């Protein structure tokens, strides 16, 4: 079986990226890798069947590469077309799409512009903090994440993200405070419990705070156990290595192993397509077709079969049905108007149109609230 490779350089106003797609014979999958300045920032995968012909594999590899290239270029093009928009949520969605792909410079630009439009929106500050963390700007991340918490002190994600920033800074005590706050707000927050254990481990080799070192091994085990009960996928070979290092009190090696364990845990699907869909709806909702919405719904339903306990998928599927309801309602109004155009005295059509318009207002209010 042949090895097929496709390469492309993709440029934005801020950066230059490199996309490489190749088939992996040993893994029976096509891998599309996305690089910035020689550093891998994201990877996309597609399985293929054993025994596939070279010609079919070549076509599948080329198609997958072109799809990923088109997605990235489409996002960059959309961002360029919307540079002058005053819709903060559109800029936030653009930022999230860039953030999910590891395009941190572009994400930071979008979140900063969203904050200029809506300076009291805590979610924008949180997202900006995540982008700063991805870009290695830890001090800037701490500043904006503290602002997010100042605006909305009871968001568990905000505290978890700020805890991560402090942990990257080596400030274990502050990290523990925010991870504990995150788990108090959301007692089913696996990542926050996991991070809390990591903060105690990090303190074992940084020796930043003596109080944290008291009974630290018991606290590490307690929080790791809570994380595993909520998300069993965290337990893998790297997790076992982390436990072995922990028993030997090799805290730095344990920290690295547990970090790898999380990276290799297959607990959540790639939802970048959801953000792209939302962007399309917000930017060009009037021209979107019912087939596009149904394809999006079917894709979410397929993912739910694979990830039946992933709450975000149910939420996104609910949003998709709201969008479909909005589309169907708009279509109904158009049909009632056509009936009245043919027969201006058609009172039943006039009444139905008023009822549909009344429903449309409610659906639009729901849609606007969801997309904020």
79 or 2: which leads in pLDDT: 79
State mean pLDDT over 25-47. 86
Minimal CA–CA distance to 356: which of 344, 346, 364?
Answer: 364
Q: Which residues pair with 22 in a beta bridge?
A: 5, 31
pLDDT confidence of residue 307: 83
Q: What is the pLDDT of residues 341-363, one digit of tens each?
A: 999 999 999 999 988 888 777 76
Asked whether residue 371 carries a pLDDT value surpassing 60, the answer given is no
Minimal CA–CA distance to 259: which of 197, 172, 174, 179?
Answer: 197
- 355 is written with which tokens? 């009822």
Q: What is the pLDDT of residues 47-66, one digit of tens each?
A: 888 888 889 999 999 999 99
Cα separation, 352 vs 332, in Å, equals 9
Q: What is the pLDDT of residues 75-118, one digit of tens each?
A: 888 888 888 888 898 899 899 989 988 889 999 999 999 999 99
pLDDT confidence of residue 25: 80
Asked whether residue 1 carries a pLDDT value surpassing 60, the answer given is no
Phi/psi region, residue 132 (left: phi>0; alpha: psi -120 to 50; beta: rest), is alpha
The full set of domain ranges for the chain reads 5-79, 272-371
* φ, ψ at 52 (rounded to 5°): -65, 145
* pLDDT band at residue 151 under the 50/70/90 scheme: very high
* pLDDT band at residue 366 under the 50/70/90 scheme: low
């Amino acid at each position: 079986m042949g090895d097929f490779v496709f390469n492309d350089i993709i440029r934005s106003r801020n950066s230059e990226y490199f996309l490489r797609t190749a088939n992996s014979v040993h893994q029976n999958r096509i891998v599309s890798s996305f690089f910035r300045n020689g550093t891998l920032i994201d990877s996309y995968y597609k399985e293929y069947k054993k025994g596939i012909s070279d010609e079919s594999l070549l076509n599948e590899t080329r198609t997958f590469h072109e799809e990923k290239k088109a997605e990235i270029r489409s996002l960059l093009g959309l961002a360029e077309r919307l540079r002058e928009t005053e819709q903060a949520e559109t800029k936030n969605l653009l930022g999230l799409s860039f953030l999910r792909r590891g395009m941190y410079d572009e994400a930071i630009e979008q979140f900063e512009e969203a904050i200029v439009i809506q300076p009291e929106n805590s979610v924008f500050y949180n997202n900006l903090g995540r982008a700063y963390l991805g870009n290695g700007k830890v001090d800037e991340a701490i500043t904006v994440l503290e602002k997010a918490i100042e605006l909305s002190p009871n968001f568990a994600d905000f505290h978890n993200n700020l805890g991560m920033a402090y942990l990257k800074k080596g400030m274990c005590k502050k990290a523990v405070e925010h991870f504990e706050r995150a788990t108090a707000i959301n007692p089913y927050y696996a990542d926050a419990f996991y991070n809390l254990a990591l903060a105690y481990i990090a303190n074992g080799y940084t020796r930043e705070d003596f109080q944290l070192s008291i009974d630290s091994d018991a606290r590490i085990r307690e929080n790791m156990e809570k994380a595993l009960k909520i998300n069993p996928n965290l337990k893998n070979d790297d997790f076992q290595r982390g436990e072995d290092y922990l028993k030997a009190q090799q805290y730095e090696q344990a920290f690295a192993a547990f970090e790898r364990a999380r990276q290799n845990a297959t607990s959540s699907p790639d939802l970048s397509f959801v953000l792209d869909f939302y962007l399309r709806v917000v930017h060009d909702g009037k021209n979107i077709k019912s087939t596009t919405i149904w394809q999006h719904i079917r894709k979410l339903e397929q993912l739910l079969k694979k990830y039946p306990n992933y709450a975000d998928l149910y939420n996104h599927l609910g949003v998709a049905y709201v969008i479909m309801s909005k589309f169907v309602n708009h279509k109904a109004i158009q049909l009632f108007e056509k009936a009245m155009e043919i027969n201006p005295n058609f009172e039943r059509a006039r009444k139905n149109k008023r009822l549909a318009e009344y429903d449309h207002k409610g659906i639009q209010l729901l849609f606007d609230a969801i997309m904020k």
